[in-house]
Amino acid sequence: MANILVIAEHDRGQLKLATLSAVGFARQVVADAGGTFEILVIGENIGGVAGQLCHCGAATVLTAAHALLQHPVGDKYARIVADATKERGATMVVGAASTFSKDILPHAAALLDAGMLSDVVEVRGDGDDFIFKRVMYAGNVIATVKLEGPVKFLTVRAAAFAHPPKVAESSPIVSLPVTADKLPQFTEYGGQEAKVAGRPDSTEARVVVSGGRGIKNAEDFERLVGGLADALGAAVGSSRALVDAGITPNSLQVGQTGKIVAPDLYIAIGISGAIQHLAGMKDTKVIVAINKDPDAPIFEVADYGLVGDVYQVVPELTEKLKT
C-alpha cells in the first residue's frame, strides 16, 4: 500500500511535462503495490494547471493557491508540501528530478525528518517496502537502495518513467487552505530572467536542434536551426564555435563547457563533432547529423547521417515536416 503525493511543476500557467513522469512513477507503484496517489499544485491562479492534471488517474488534485505562492520560493513551498504530506497521510512524496524539486523536496523532507532520494530510475516492491535504483556519478554507477522511515521523499528522472495514458474519469479538485502568517518569510522572490521566449530549455526538451560552424550568421541560425526546432517543437542549442563568433548567446551552448543535454532526439546541423561538444550530448537516445563533410567525426556517433549542404537540406526538411 502506498499513499503517494506527486508535486506538480508548472511555469506561467503551463504544466511542465516532466511532472507526468512523476505521475507515471506513481501510477506504476500504485498498480504494483496498491494504494492511491494525489497531485499537489502550488501557486497562484493554478486552476488551469490543476485542470490539465484531472485525467491522470489521481485520487484527488490538490491545490494550494495564494498570492504569496505566486513564485516557487523554496521555504514557502516546502512548508506547503510538508503540511500537505502530514495532512493527507502520504507515505511517499515524488517530484520530477529538476531544479525546482532539488530546491523544495529536500527542504520539505528535512521539515518532516524524512529520508530523500534523488534521480530514481527504477522502483520495485519488496514486501511492504520498496527498492529503488538511482543514478550516481554522472550516470556511471546505478545504486540499488532502500529508504528508511515511514515517509519517503524522492525525485525521478523524467526519461525513466513514461507519461501515463489519460483516463476517462476526472479527479476532483480539492483546495487546501493556506494561512499566510504560517508561511515562513526567509526567502523573498527577487526576479526571473526569462530565456528566449517560446522555445523549451534544451536541458529539458525531448528534441534538441543544434547548430555549428556550418552556419554562417545569426539570421541563418534562426532560419535554419530555429525553423527546424519550431517545426518539431524542439529546443535549440549551439556549438561553442557559434558562441565564439557571436552568432548565438552563451546560454545556448551545448558541450563540455556549456549545457549537458540528454534528449530523445538530437539533430546536429553543421556540427563537426569535437569531443568537447559530444561530451555535452552523450546521453542522447537518437542522434541525427547533417554536415557537408562526410569525414566529420559526428557521423561516427550519429544514428542517422545526412551528407549535404545544410543551407539546402535543412529548409527542405523543415518544409516537409510542416506539411
Partner 1 sequence: MQPTRETFGNIPHSSQVIFYCLTMVTMAVFAYGIWRRFKLWRQGTPIGIQELIVGNLRQIWWKIRPGVGRLLTEGLGQKRVRGRGLASWAHGLLFAGFMILFLGTTLLEIDHLASGISEALHFHRGNYYIVYEFTLDVFGLLFLIGCCLFLWRRTTRPYSVGHKTTDWFVLGFFIAIGITGYLVEGLRIAWQQPTGIAAQCSPVGLLIAQGLSGMSNAAARSAHLGIWWVHAMLVFGFIAAIPYTRLFHTLAGPFNLFLAPPVLGTLQPISMEEVEKTERIGVSQIAHFNQRQLLSLDACMECGRCEDACPAHATGKPLSPKQVVQDLKRVMTAAFAPGGTKPDSTAPNLRDIIQAETLWSCTACNACVEVCPVRVDPLTLITDLRRNRVGEGELSGTAATALRRIQSSANPWGLPAAERSNWSEGLGAPTCKENPGFEVLYWIGCAGSYDRRAQRVARAVVKLLKHAGVNFAILGREEKCTGESARRLGDEFLFQELAQANIATLARYNVRKILAHCPHCLNSLLKDYPQFGGQYEVIHHTQYLSQLLRIGRLKIPTSDGADDAGAVTYHDPCYLARVNGIHEAPREVLSATLGATSKPAGLREMQSNREKTFCCGAGGGRMWMEEDPNQRVSTVRAKEALATGAKTVAVGCPFCLTMITDGLATQGSSARVLDVAEILAERLKL
Between 10 and 259, name the residue whose CB sits nearer to partner 1: 259
Binding of residue 142 to partner 1 (CB under 8 A): no
Give the nearer residue to partner 1 in terms of CB position, either 219 or 244: 244
Nearer to partner 1, 44 or 244 (CB): 244
19 vs 248, which CB is nearer to partner 1?
248
With beta carbons less than 8 A apart as the criterion, state whether 232 and 321 touch. Answer: yes
DSSP-assigned beta bridge partners for residue 68: none
From residue 284, give the alpha-carbon distance in Å to each of 4, 74, 100, 265, 290.
30, 31, 23, 6, 16
Please write down the HEC assignment for all residues of 154-210. Answer: EEECHHHCCCCCCCCCCCCEEECCCCHHHCCCCCCCCCCCCCCCCCCCCCCCCEEEE
Angle, to 10 degrees, between the axis of helix 74-88 and the axis of helix 99-111? 60
Minimum gap (Å) between residue 144 Cβ and partner 1: 18
CB of 136 to partner 1, least distance (A): 8
Using CB under 8 A, which of 87, 300, 303, 319 touches partner 1? 300
Which of the residues 209 through 238 are near partner 1 (CB under 8 A)?
213
Residues 251-280 vs partner 1: string with x where CB under 8 A?
-----xx---------------xxxx-xx-
Please report how close the Cβ of residue 207 comes to partner 1 at its closest, in angstroms: 23
- Residue count at the site for partner 1 (CB under 8 A)? 22
Q: How far is the CB of 311 from partner 1 (least distance, A)?
A: 17
**Closest approach of partner 1 to the CB of residue 296, in Å:** 9
**By CB under 8 A, residue 242 contacts partner 1:** no
241 in contact with partner 1 (CB under 8 A): yes
Q: What is the DSSP letter of 269?
A: E
Name residues whose C-beta falls within 8 Å of residue 314's C-beta, 6 or more positions apart in sequence: 224, 225, 227, 228, 269, 290
Q: By CB under 8 A, which span of 87-95, 115-123, 228-236, 298-306 interacts with partner 1? A: 298-306
> In angstroms, rounded to a whole number, what is the distance separating the alpha carbons of residues 267 and 53?
31
What are the backbone dihedrals phi and psi of residue 3, each rounded to the nearest 5 degrees, phi first?
-120, 105
Cell of 317: 526538411
Phi, psi of 305 (to 5 degrees): -130, 145
Shortest reach from residue 93's CB to partner 1, in Å: 29
Minimum CB separation from partner 1 for residue 248, in Å? 13
Residues lying near partner 1 in the complex (CB under 8 A) are found at: 137-141, 213, 241, 244-245, 256-257, 273-276, 278-279, 282, 297-298, 300-301
